[in-house]
Structure 1
Amino acid sequence: MKLGGAAALKFFARPETDRAGLLIHGSDAMRVALRRQEVIAALIGPEGEAEMRLTRMSGGDLRKDPALVSDALRAQGFFPGARVAFVEEAGDGIAPVLKNALADWTPGDAMLIVTAGTLTKASALKKAFEDHPNAYAVAIYDDPPGREEIEATLSKAGITQVPGEAMTDLLALARELDPGDFRQTVEKLALYKFGDTTPVTPADIAAVAPATIEAAVDDVLNAAAEARTAEIGPLMRRLEGQGVAPVTLCIGATRHFRALHAAAAAPGGAAEGIARLRPPIFGPRRDRMLRQAQGWGMHRLEQALGLLTDTDLQLRSSSRAPAMAVMERALIRLAMLGRR
């Protein structure tokens, strides 16, 4: 039988132990693996593999010895509890073997869990599970997780208080990160909020979200964007001591001012433009960039981008001028432009 949507999510979290088998297939191997890990953990628990209630096989193993899967389904261990026979990297070549294993399955046997890549509509492997009355086939698509799925991930991590604005930031973050990175971010958020009973805030999410620009580089870019000319020199000395290349600074500055320009030029205003930036920006950094975009305006930001383009060309040319000095002068000119 086919399974999808909320019913699939429910099965992954609380699988029915009397099912004969489950096929999880999709083009994104990480998404498939995460779902497989989730359902197996829900079936056999954290000690299941140590108690030898999980048997692992690959599609290649079954091509060499088809009897392996039948033996795994019927094998009885020393420990009580649900058992799983797991076949990874399956394909249509072993579909007859798995179809026969499902046909011979009886109550008390292990559940057969199979993972595969992209399968066509005519796939023999997919049909073997879809046509079986007591087995499921679940297709995993590359769509970003929805609100219900994110809430389930948060609940599993022990996070229950996520009000509107913070949830909006998490939804945006889930669209940009792959599932594994998003799950790690949620786990990091749970550790960050450990012992704190207050609701999650956008600032909390900003603190654990993967950074797009290094903090030290961010400092000097903010100094230039906020016309704090006197701070640029000391910050540049620190970056130079850390080995940051002038071209890297120029690329970071161009990215920063391009994001400000995109926000300032948005038809719905700078706030809407900031909300549409990709990758998304969270918490205090989002508010800061909004103030910068509103303070500069679209036309002055166009001038800033022109100045940065000229600086980039000079840094990449055969000029003998000290590169870090060229970049420092450009940032000071930006600060003076922003002060007008």
Structure 2
Amino acid sequence: MNLRGAEIARYLARPDPTRPALLIWGQDAMRVALKRQQAVAALTGPDAETEMRLTRIPGADLRRDPAALMDAVKAVGFFPGQRVVLVDEATDALAGAVSAALDDWASGDAVIVLAAGALTKASALRKLFEGHRSAVCAPIYDDPPGEDEIEGWLRDAGLHEVPRDAMRDLTALARALDPGDFRQTVEKIGLYKHGDPTPLTPEEIAALAPATIEAEVDALIDLVAEGRAAEFGVLMRRIEAQGTTPVTLAIAALRHFRGLHAAASDPGGAQAGLSRMRPPVFGPRRDRMARQAQDWGMTRLEEALHLLIDTDLQLRSSSRAPAMALVERALIRLSMLPRGNRR
């Protein structure tokens, strides 16, 4: 049986222990690992490791000894409760051993959970599970977690009620981070808010979100966008001393001003435009960029983009002009441009 769409998240949150096996596969190893962890925890409950109700068999070991799967499935445990045999890094080479275990599976045997990488339509494992009357196949796509899934992670972290503005920013953050980093961030938020009765705020999310290595570059571009030319020199010298390249600065500035332009031109308003960016902008940074977009206006932002694109072209040309001087001059000119909300 092949799960589709919303069925996948619902089933992996509460797998059916009367079904003999579950195949979880996908391109992103971290997403597959998180889903596998969730499914196994839901099947076995707590203390499965210490009670020896969870048997792990690496795929490579099973290829060398196919009978090990049947032995583990049929083994009788010392403790009551659901047993699971987990096979990581499953490949099509295991299809024969898995098929034999499925044919001989009976109520009371351990549930087989296989985690695999990307499998093609011709995959023997996929064909086995998709065509089986009771085994379950759960493909994991590279989509960011949905709101229901985020709410489940928040509940696991001890947060049962999250305001809508905070949930909006968490959803945006989930699109910006890889699944492992986002899950760790949710756990960190849970620890931070433990025992705190006040609602979670966007400011707290922004403070606890992973810091980007380009934080000082972002701060420099903010100075430029806000016309704070007097503060530009000190930060520029510090960034230059750290070894930041002119191309990095040019790309960051162009990305930032393109974001402002998209925000200023969005019919739903600047904040809506920033939320729709890829990756999205959230929290206090979204409010700051929205103000910048409104201060500049469409006309001035188009002038700024022309200047930055010209600078980028010069950097890529055979010009002998010092690259850092080109970028610094462009940023200083931008910081001194008069801004106005003229359309």
Shorter-chain TM range is 0.7 to 0.9
Q: Is the 8 A contact 2:220 2:235 kept in 1?
A: yes
| Aligned-partner Cα distance in 1 for 2:130–2:86 | 18
Q: Is the 8 A contact 2:170 2:205 kept in 1?
A: yes
Calculate the TM-score normalised by the size of structure 2.
0.85
Q: Secondary structure at the match of 2:337?
A: helix
Aligned residue identity for 1:32: V
| Aligned-partner Cα distance in 1 for 2:92–2:327 | 58
| Aligned-partner Cα distance in 2 for 1:215–1:178 | 19
Higher mean C-alpha deviation, range 109-118 or range 129-138: 129-138
1:164 maps to what in 2? 164
Q: Is the 8 A contact 1:225 1:338 kept in 2?
A: no
Structure 2 residue 302 is the aligned partner of structure 1 residue 319: no
| Aligned-partner Cα distance in 2 for 1:4–1:109 | 27
Q: Is the 8 A contact 2:175 2:280 kept in 1?
A: no
Q: Is the 8 A contact 2:157 2:191 kept in 1?
A: no
Higher mean C-alpha deviation, range 310-319 or range 176-185: 310-319
Q: Is the 8 A contact 1:227 1:336 kept in 2?
A: yes
Q: Is the 8 A contact 1:205 1:282 kept in 2?
A: no
Residues 78-113 of structure 1, C-alpha deviation per residue, up to 9 Å, x if partnerless? 444432212233344433432221222233322211
Q: Secondary structure at the match of 1:319?
A: coil
| Aligned-partner Cα distance in 1 for 2:132–2:278 | 44
Q: Which runs of 5+ in 2 are unaligned?
A: none
The 1:305–1:37 alpha-carbon spacing in structure 2 relative to 1, beyond 3 Å, is same
Q: Secondary structure at the match of 2:145?
A: coil
- State the 1:4 CA deviation: 4.8
Residues 277-320 of structure 1, C-alpha deviation per residue, up to 9 Å, x if partnerless? 22111121111111111111122112212222333445555535
- How many residues end up aligned between the 2 structures? 339
* RMSD, aligned CA: 2.9
- State the 1:337 CA deviation: 0.7
1:190 maps to what in 2? 190
Matching of residues 25-36 of structure 1 within 5 Å: 25-36=25-36
Q: Secondary structure at the match of 1:297?
A: helix
Q: Is the 8 A contact 2:172 2:275 kept in 1?
A: no
- State the 1:16 CA deviation: 3.9
Higher mean C-alpha deviation, range 41-50 or range 252-261: 41-50
| Aligned-partner Cα distance in 2 for 1:188–1:137 | 32
The 1:295–1:120 alpha-carbon spacing in structure 2 relative to 1, beyond 3 Å, is same
- State the 1:212 CA deviation: 5.3
- State the 1:134 CA deviation: 4.8
Q: Which runs of 5+ in 1 are unaligned?
A: none
Aligned residue identity for 2:320: S
| Aligned-partner Cα distance in 2 for 1:166–1:3 | 31
| Aligned-partner Cα distance in 2 for 1:115–1:215 | 37
2:308 maps to what in 1? 308
The 1:126–1:237 alpha-carbon spacing in structure 2 relative to 1, beyond 3 Å, is closer
The 1:42–1:145 alpha-carbon spacing in structure 2 relative to 1, beyond 3 Å, is same
| Aligned-partner Cα distance in 2 for 1:299–1:21 | 60
Q: Secondary structure at the match of 2:97?
A: helix
1:149 maps to what in 2? 149
